[in-house]
Amino acid sequence: MDASFVESRRRRPSRPLTTIAVLAARHRTEPVPHPPTDRLHTAFTGVFESVARASPAGSVVHHGGITAVTTGVPHPYLNTLFVADAATSLTDFSTTAAALEDIGLPYSIRLRSGLDDRFTVALKKLGLAENSAEVERGMYLAAETGYPYPPELEIRVGREALLDHAAISAPGFGTPVDIVRRVLTQDLLDSEEIALYTGYVDGTAVSSSFGYIVDSIVNIFDVVTLSGHRRRGYGAAMTMRAAIDGFKAGCDFAFLEATPMGFPVYRRLGFEAIFDYRLWFQNAR
Tell me: the pLDDT tens digits for 226-265?
999 999 999 999 999 999 999 998 999 999 999 888 999 9
Domain of 174, CATH number, reads 3.40.630.30
Q: What is the mean pLDDT of residues 154-159?
A: 92
Q: What is the C-alpha separation between 264 and 258, in angstroms, rounded?
A: 9
In a domain, 215, yes or no: yes
pLDDT tops 60 at residue 14: no
Label the pairing between strands 204-214 and 194-201. antiparallel
**Amino acid present at 139:** M
Q: Identify the domain boundary among 137, 161, 188.
A: 137
Q: What is the C-alpha separation between 235 and 122, in angstroms, rounded?
A: 38
Q: What is the C-alpha separation between 220 and 81, in angstroms, rounded?
A: 19
Indicate the Cα dihedral angle 29, 48, 83, 255, nearest 10°: -50
Both 188 and 241 in a single domain? yes
In a domain, 267, yes or no: yes
The domain of 51 spans 33-137
Q: What is the pLDDT of residue 183?
A: 87
Both 170 and 247 in a single domain? yes
Q: Who's near 159: CB < 8 A, 6+ residues apart?
A: 1, 16, 17, 189, 196
Both 146 and 131 in a single domain? no
Q: What is the mean pLDDT of residues 170-179?
A: 82
Task: Quote the strand ranges of 86-226, DSSP E.
Answer: 108-112, 134-141, 154-157, 194-201, 204-214, 217-225
Both 116 and 98 in a single domain? yes
Domain count for the chain, please give it. Answer: 2
**CA 269 centroid distance within chain:** 19
Q: What is the mean pLDDT of residues 31-47?
A: 83
Both 178 and 260 in a single domain? yes
In a domain, 111, yes or no: yes
Cβ atoms of residues 62 and 84 within 8 Å: yes
Q: What is the pLDDT of residue 25?
A: 45
Cβ atoms of residues 56 and 185 within 8 Å: yes
pLDDT tops 80 at residue 30: no
Min mean pLDDT across 26-40, 100-114, 148-162, 254-268 is at: 26-40
**Amino acid present at 63:** H
Q: What is the mean pLDDT of residues 166-174?
A: 84
Q: Identify the domain boundary among 103, 118, 137.
A: 137
pLDDT tops 80 at residue 8: no
Where is mean pLDDT largest: 52-56, 179-183, 279-283?
A: 52-56
Q: What's the predicted TM-score (pTM) here? A: 0.85
pLDDT tops 80 at residue 22: no
Tell me the HSE value of 236 on the side-chain side, using a 13 A CA sphere: 18
In a domain, 250, yes or no: yes
Q: Who's near 54: CB < 8 A, 6+ residues apart?
A: 185, 187, 188, 191
pLDDT tops 70 at residue 199: yes
